[in-house]
A = this chain, B = another copy of it.
């Protein structure tokens, strides 16, 4: 990962890839332009699985990542109080608003 301010790491679970966001200091929207090294789920043939996004970050960074991973089977946002909330799904098993228990 070359991005100084935004650290993105991934962990492969059985049915989803967990994408963890860590911020080093204050980030700016222009940091999105130099955001490289995002886990390349699509070319790694993991797009038939889901994505769970986790970590403290501005809504615009989440927005960017949610769009980036839209080819995946489903995308969820981890809320510590609730679990992983599905926000989009191409998978018949899930609909937006479903909550998936994840261990983070």
Contacts and interface: CB of A to CB of B under 8 A. Distances in A.
B64 A67 contact: no
Interface of A, secondary structure class, is mixed
A62 B59 contact: yes
> Chain A contact residues (Cβ within 8 angstroms of B): what range?
20 to 34
Interface string A78-99: 0100100111100000011111
Contact of A30 (B31, B58, B88, B97): B97
A77 interface: yes
A86 B61 CA distance: 10
Nearest to A83: B29
Interface of A: 29-33, 58-60, 62-64, 66-67, 70, 75-77, 79, 82, 85-88, 95-99
